[in-house]
Amino acid sequence: MAEIKANKQNLKNLLERSETIIKHHNEITIAKGEHFNLFSVLGIESRENKTHSAFLIELLNPNGTHLQKDIFLKLFLQVIQREITKQEKNEKAAQKKLINNFINSTNTTVSPEISIGRRNDHNKEGGRIDIFIENRNNIICIENKIYAQDQNCQIERYCNYPKENTVLYLTLKVDSPSKQSSGNLKAGKDFYNISYKEHISDWLGLCLKEVPNLTSVRESINQYILLIKKLTHTMEIKEKQELQKVMAGYLEETAFIVENYEAMTTKLKSNFRKDVKKGLLEKLDSEIFTLKNGKSTHKSKSQLWVVFTSYPEAEVKFGLESFSGRGHIGGNLFVGIWNKDGVSLLVESIQEVNKINNWWKQTQRLYTEDGNEINLNHNYTLKILTNPSSEKYQKLVEEIVNQAVQFIMDYKNDVLSAIQNKKSLPLNIS
């Protein structure tokens, strides 16, 4: 019993000292004005393509509106060359793959969402590259991952693109792609892991030094650096060292907190899904609709299904996803029409509108009252989930329920018709 009390006291000491450091960090952030960030204000901080890829592409593009020609691109190549050198432990290989291939970087084009052919998982080819850097036959393919999950054979397909091709897997904190995505390919040999926290931040710091007098460009880069710090929970070096020192003094307690954090957040998300389910049950006619839980909230693509009571096993149904904060469209919550076999619905109004893949035929993103996308993995949302009796929590549930019910009622007749006529539906081979 004495040991348990001691551990509890150690936990309390760790949390109190950590809270003091974090509070000091927040005070410094406010004093510097760094708490204000346009990307956050506009509610676009987690959009992979519309925010992150778009911003990176604009800086990398020698013909970008920054009018600095290839200065930013060259700095990026230098940072990536260093990382490839470190991962391969072979400086010549790194130089050959990047600097020499892109030596005339003013002729380089930088493009978003480039198709490299029809996706074929069997042959491991095709797909769409988030950021595509090309100089004649030399290519850099960047797969940009903020919160979205890996696609099947994704890194394998990109590595098989038949050109002199360097594939970079970009994540917030140097994560590796799943086995499902990379297969037997090896990081540091066939492709390279890079991160916003380290490599993109380093590169942007170098870019800042090149534009001290270009106020608009400089402040735009500064704002983006602050966004990266927010998404990667980056502290100033002094504060980070102080926090690590405190944690080192309470190793067992730190490990205990880490191990229980995911269980705690999973429970919060699970309870939230129950409340959304309860809200939907109150507004939907139980004689027409039945609600079922999908995957658990600790798994990617966690759902809440809305099926027709008369057709409980129908392969076409409504669904809300994702209650884990991970999955399609960066893990943001959406409501949609799901089709198990990926067959054509033969209903013009829902066949290919806002399609995510061959199963989600029609989707609609869910938003907060002030127009922000909803992601249950974001700290802002998690803080709301910790207080179910709060007005913010109740309002969040209400917004999700109302938007989902409206979508379901808009497409109820079309989906019911598709279910009743399913035997005559042809396979969708597009």
Residue 112 lies inside a defined structural domain of this protein: yes
pLDDT of 368: 86
Q: Are residues 305 and 202 in the same domain?
A: no
**398-285-277 Cα angle (round to 5):** 40
Is 308 found in the same domain as 271?
Answer: yes
In a domain, 82, yes or no: yes
The reply to whether 159 and 273 lie within a common domain is no
- Token reading at 129: 């590259």
Neighbours of 19 (CB within 10 A): 10
Same domain, 178 and 98: yes
Tell whether 108 is covered by a domain.
Answer: yes
- Residue after which a domain boundary falls, among 238, 272, 307: 238
Based on the fold, state whether residues 232 and 355 are members of the same structural domain: no
> Is residue 4 domain-resident?
no
- Residues 290, 199 share a domain: no
Residues 276 and 407 occupy one common structural domain = yes
Q: Are 111 and 134 in contact (CB under 8 A)?
A: yes
The amino acid sitting at 269 is K
In a domain, 27, yes or no: no
pLDDT of 212? 82
Per the listing, tokens 């497409």 go with: 411
Q: Strand, coil or helix: what is 159?
A: helix
Sign of CA dihedral 406, 410, 416, 422: negative
Domain annotation covers residue 19? no
Residues 371, 278, single domain; the answer is: yes
- List Cα–Cα distances, 151 to 19, 121, 343, in angstroms: 38, 10, 20
pLDDT of residue 15: 66
For residue 148 the two structure tokens come to 């979205």
What is the residue-level pLDDT of the chain in tens, covering all 430 positions? Answer: 334 444 777 666 666 666 666 665 565 555 555 566 666 666 666 677 778 889 999 999 998 899 888 899 999 998 998 888 777 665 445 545 566 666 666 688 999 999 999 888 889 989 999 999 998 778 899 999 876 667 889 999 999 998 778 899 998 887 888 888 898 999 888 899 999 999 999 999 999 999 888 888 888 888 888 888 888 876 566 666 676 776 677 677 677 777 778 888 999 999 999 999 999 999 999 899 999 999 998 888 899 999 999 888 888 899 999 899 888 777 889 999 888 765 555 444 454 556 667 778 788 889 888 777 888 888 778 889 999 999 999 999 999 999 999 999 998 988 888 888 764 443 332 2
pLDDT score recorded for residue 243: 64
Distance of alpha carbon 38 from alpha carbon 156, whole angstroms: 36
- 109 and 76 together in one domain: yes
DSSP letter at 162 equals: S
Residues 48 and 168 in one domain: yes
Are 210 and 61 found together in one domain?
yes
Provide φ and ψ at 194, rounded to 5°.
-130, 165
Last residue of a domain, one of 238, 253, 281: 238
Domain count for the chain? 2
Is residue 216 included in any domain, yes or no? yes
Domain hosting residue 107, numbered range: 38-238
Strand order in the sheet with 164-171: 109-115, 128-135, 138-144, 164-171, 192-195
Residue with tokens 């074929």: 120
Residue for token digits 């983006």? 224
- Any domain includes 291: yes
Whether residue 385 sits in one domain with residue 291: yes
